[in-house]
Structure 1
Amino acid sequence: MVKKLKRRWQLGRVRPGDGRPLAEYRLWQLFSRSLFFLDLPAPSGHSQTYAVDVRYLADAKTKSQHNNAVGRSPAALYRDGVQVHRANLPTTFPVPGGVIEVATSAFGLKRMRYVAEDGSEHALRPHRSSQEGLRARFEQKFPRTSTVIGALALVILLVVFVVAVLKGVETVTRIPVVAEHLGTFVSPIRLPTWANVTMVVAGILSAVERALRLRYHWLIDSVAS
């Protein structure tokens, strides 16, 4: 029920597109833009290509310097190269036979999927020159190495999570009222400054790596932010 209400709310926030053509993906947009595609059958029977363009630095509330038009939206949906919808993130775009759900985290995308009316989910394909596309091509070319990197990223985030939880418990138990009733907890893990910095950097890199593969867990991945 909550999920349905959330989807309905997001669909209600989607605005009509302005009909502009889909811009080419450029190399300098590697860290500021994600572009994904999905082919769906049209009512006439032929296939239509949908594209979801995510601009991380865009702000729909920003006004143009030359007029009062609203600036580029953070996310836009294109059909056969023409913009048909735009929205702030997170969002849900309506498409034939279902919806496309889009959401970001502090490190990139956390959700980009087509959800059919029967509840099945399908991944969209990334632009080959985007961060996600380059990561997908690396996985296809070096599957074993890719698996190791993915597993290592998960282990690092789990370690960061455990250390953060222990530190958090220690901080809470130092509060006089809590300490009086429960006692004081001292984390068994004490790291030097250089190790803490290294762990933070490793955690951020691991979160970015998982975002490139659209792997996200609300608890594990958020601890690095």
Structure 2
Amino acid sequence: MRRSVLSITLPVQGRPVVHTVEVKHGGDPQYGVVRAGLYLDGYLRLESKLPARFPVADGHIEVRTGKGGMRRCHFVADDGTVQRLVPDPRSAEGRRMRFADEHPAASGLIGAVSILMLLIGVGLNLLQIAEPISQIPPIAATVGTFESPLQLPVWLNLALGFGAVAGAVERGMRMRYHWLLDSGAGT
């Protein structure tokens, strides 16, 4: 089971308190529901199913996930300022962030490949969905039928599908989200 651990230090009654959010992406073993826990200085204070909004001193913490990982984990202050929580260095997000800091060129290349894989996945899905939808009698009578110009072998379809999933997971580890890319291709 993969988990995300992100933290931020906020003042509570004049002293710094570490606020940590933990999300077990596989879900609660007993109920199967994905939940987030809010820890203050290492002690569990609140739990909620996702998406979650935890009230904290001077604001709240918003937590959302997608199928590929974390989508949002931010502190929103009462004055409207937003600050992203920092991933634990040992978590997948933390290791990805460290890799991006230590190897920016390689990280950029991986990011570009993940976007490319998602775009290919979305494009292929649209082509493959358009053909059977266009054959529904009322749609066929109105706009005609569509025959996909691509007839890919099953192994290539599967490989591109796995590539899209890998791209979605990589974007989830970097906490990147775009409604078109990530909602349509696995996150």
Same-fold status (TM-score > 0.5): yes
Is residue 13 of structure 2 the alignment partner of residue 52 of structure 1? no
Quick one: which of 99, 122, 134 aligns to 1:173? 134
- TM-score where L is the length of structure 1: 0.77
Is residue 6 of structure 2 the alignment partner of residue 36 of structure 1? yes
Distance, in Å, in 1 between the alignment partners of 2:161 and 2:46 is 38
Distance, in Å, in 2 between the alignment partners of 1:129 and 1:139 is 14
Quick one: which of 196, 212, 217 aligns to 2:157? 196
**Structure 1 gap segments, 5+ residues each:** 1-30, 63-70
Q: Percent identity?
A: 39
Contact 2:62/2:72 (<8 A) preserved: yes
Q: Stretches of 4+ moved more than 6 A in 1?
A: none
Amino acid at match of 2:23: V
Aligned-residue offset at 1:178 = 1.1
Amino acid at match of 1:78: Y
Contact 2:60/2:75 (<8 A) preserved: yes
- The answer to which structure has the higher strand fraction is 2
**Structure 2 gap segments, 5+ residues each:** none
Q: Aligned runs of 1:80-95 on 2, under 5 Å?
A: 80-95=41-56
Equivalent residue for 1:149? 110
Aligned-residue offset at 1:72 = 9.8
Amino acid at match of 2:10: L
- TM-score where L is the length of structure 2: 0.91
Aligned-residue offset at 1:152 = 1.3
Is residue 173 of structure 2 the alignment partner of residue 220 of structure 1? no
Structure 1 pair 52–173 and aligned structure 2 pair: CA distance change class (3 A): same
Does the residue aligned with 1:187 lie in a helix, a strand or coil? coil
Contact 1:139/1:146 (<8 A) preserved: yes
Distance, in Å, in 2 between the alignment partners of 1:56 and 1:183 is 43
Equivalent residue for 1:11? none
Aligned-residue offset at 1:83 = 1.4
Q: CA RMSD in A?
A: 2.0
Structure 1 pair 115–122 and aligned structure 2 pair: CA distance change class (3 A): same
